[in-house]
């Protein structure tokens, strides 16, 4: 009576397990890098949306001083909106979360904490947004509002090779003119 082979030999099983192990190790490296890049891109997308939302809300007051910003704050107020009001509004409307820890601590006093931004009061009426950029450096973004005593007006001057700016002190407003 002849014996028929019905399965795989021990050597064949070991080769299959070794191949699967190698594929799993390679896949884990690529999958890990994919997750890191995806989280970073999501964080930068959230920061970009945060900037746009802040600008849009403050622009409402520029266009119509009788409107409200951040749902409840009146543009006719002599004081600027508080940081807490702005943060609460942004967390509720944008559903901002720290993509690295998946909690609601998107705002922090230290922008070096991974996945967070620092929103602070700058000068009178200005707000500062600090965050980690795509190169892992701290970037600062300043937003002037109608509560800022002096506004900056930028005029682009073409010199043919590059754009040059010169600050001209005019009292209340800052104007820029060509150096040449």
Angle between helices 83-94 and 10-63 in degrees, nearest 10? 130
Q: Count Cβ atoms within 10 A of the Cβ of residue 170 and give its class: 0-12 exposed, 13-18 middle, 19 or more buried.
A: exposed
Per-residue model confidence (pLDDT) at position 163: 47
Ramachandran quadrant class, 45 (left: phi over 0; alpha: psi -120 to 50; beta: rest): alpha
Token representation of residue 157: 């001057």
Per-residue CA distances from 106 to 71, 97, 112, 128 (Å): 20, 5, 12, 15
List CB contacts of 148: < 8 A, sequence separation 6 or more. Answer: 123, 124, 125, 126
Along the 180 residues of the chain, how does pLDDT read in single tens digits?
677 777 788 898 999 999 999 998 888 877 778 888 888 999 999 999 999 999 999 899 888 888 999 989 998 988 889 999 999 998 888 888 888 887 778 898 888 888 899 999 887 778 989 988 878 888 888 888 887 665 445 455 455 555 455 555 555 555 555 454
Q: What is the pLDDT of residue 17?
A: 94
Looking at residue 156, its pLDDT comes to: 52
> How large a percentage of the chain has pLDDT more than 90?
24
If we measure between CA atoms, which residue out of 145, 140, 150 comes closest to residue 81?
Answer: 145
- Residues 17, 101 contacting (CB under 8 angstroms): no
pLDDT digits (tens, 9 = 90+) for 34-59: 888 888 999 999 999 999 999 999 89
Contact call for residues 82 and 96 (beta carbons, < 8 A): no
Half-sphere exposure at residue 173, Cβ-oriented, CA atoms within 13 angstroms? 8
């Amino acid at each position: 009576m002849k014996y028929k082979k019905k399965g795989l030999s021990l050597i064949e099983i070991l080769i299959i397990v070794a191949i699967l192990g190698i594929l799993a190790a390679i896949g884990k490296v690529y999958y890990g890098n994919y997750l890191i890049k995806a989280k970073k891109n999501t964080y930068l997308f959230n920061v970009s949306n945060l900037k746009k939302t802040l600008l849009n809300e403050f622009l409402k007051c520029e266009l119509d001083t009788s409107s409200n910003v951040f749902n409840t704050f009146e543009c006719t107020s002599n004081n600027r909106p508080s940081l807490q009001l702005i943060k609460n509004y942004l967390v509720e409307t944008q559903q901002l979360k720290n993509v690295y820890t998946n909690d609601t601590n998107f705002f922090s006093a230290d922008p070096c904490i991974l996945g967070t931004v620092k929103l602070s009061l700058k000068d009178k009426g200005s707000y500062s947004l600090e965050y980690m950029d795509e190169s892992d450096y701290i970037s600062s973004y300043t937003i002037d509002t109608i509560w800022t005593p002096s506004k900056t007006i930028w005029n682009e001057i073409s010199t043919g090779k590059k754009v040059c700016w010169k600050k001209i002190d005019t009292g209340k407003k800052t104007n820029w003119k060509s150096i040449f």
